[in-house]
Amino acid sequence: MAIILKENVPTIVQGITGHQGSFHAEQMKIFGTNIVGGVTPGKGGTTVKGVPVFNSVSEAIRNTGARASVVFVPAPFAFDSVVEAIDSGLELVTVITEHIPFHDMVKLKLYAKIRGARIIGPNCPGITSVGIAKHGIMPNSIFREGSVGVVSRSGTLTYEIVNTITEAGLGETTVIGIGGDQVVGTNMQEAVSMFEDDERTKAIVVVGEIGGTAEEETAELIKRKVTKPVVAFIAGRSAPPGKRMGHAGAIITGGKGTAQSKVEAFKSAGVAVASSPSEIPKLLKERLKL
């Protein structure tokens, strides 16, 4: 089983004719994703790496039966592209695009909820259900089918941690990069709850970073509702105080959002907190009694 991204979902790539869109569409196909089309206005009737291109999402759906989209559209046009995807009835929209304005994302998140769609991202590496499909830019080579669910606010750190889990022989069910912006379509608590309900997932890895309160809120959820072993890692422990670091979400206010606050919250919820990514497999094995 897997969370969110299920088997054989017909998927389109918005912005497929751009360099990133075309490259990652091919990589997703190689991974096993059912890429059925792409969308770039004005480029309809062409193909990219054997994938037909359409002028609009609705045209792509009529011709392919698509139910999901991966968005590589540049930030100035991303809002309209996501609205188009939701208006057309797509169930899952994974937004890789970065630099989407905060207020635009607030509107998109509410609109998706009203229309019954799920957004992953923005500013994220996407989602991979191992052995099934991937939507986004995670490297194909780092995964192995297993029993660990991973949710992460960090992009490239996700790859390092997944690779350590794979090399330890544990493997993953679903890996979801939710993005590091202040407002994201699918948050950390939602992902952890879905992993708790997923039969195949036996343990959960949470990768957080300084800024925001997502980790503290997730720790409260774990304390109340999660029965599976959870291992966490918090990036940014060495960040200088008083500095804004990296993502728009990396803002520390009112004593919350610090690495110390997040570590303490997780420990109080019974979560094992790794001091480095390389320690995660050891902690997982201890809690899974392997």
How far is it, in rounded angstroms, from Cα 1 to Cα 33?
16
Q: Is 103 known to be catalytic?
A: no
Rg (CA), the chain: 19
Which residue in 261, 207, 248, 228 sits closest to 101, CA to CA? 248
Q: Using alpha carbons only, give the angle 237, 240, 242 rounded to the nearest 5 degrees.
A: 115
Reading the block at residue 259, the tokens are: 């690495």
How far is it, in rounded angstroms, from Cα 75 to Cα 77?
5
Which residue in 151, 155, 84 sits closest to 125, CA to CA? 155
From 19, 24, 99, 247, active-site residue: 247
Reading the block at residue 183, the tokens are: 């407002």
Q: Which active-site residues does the annotation give? A: 247
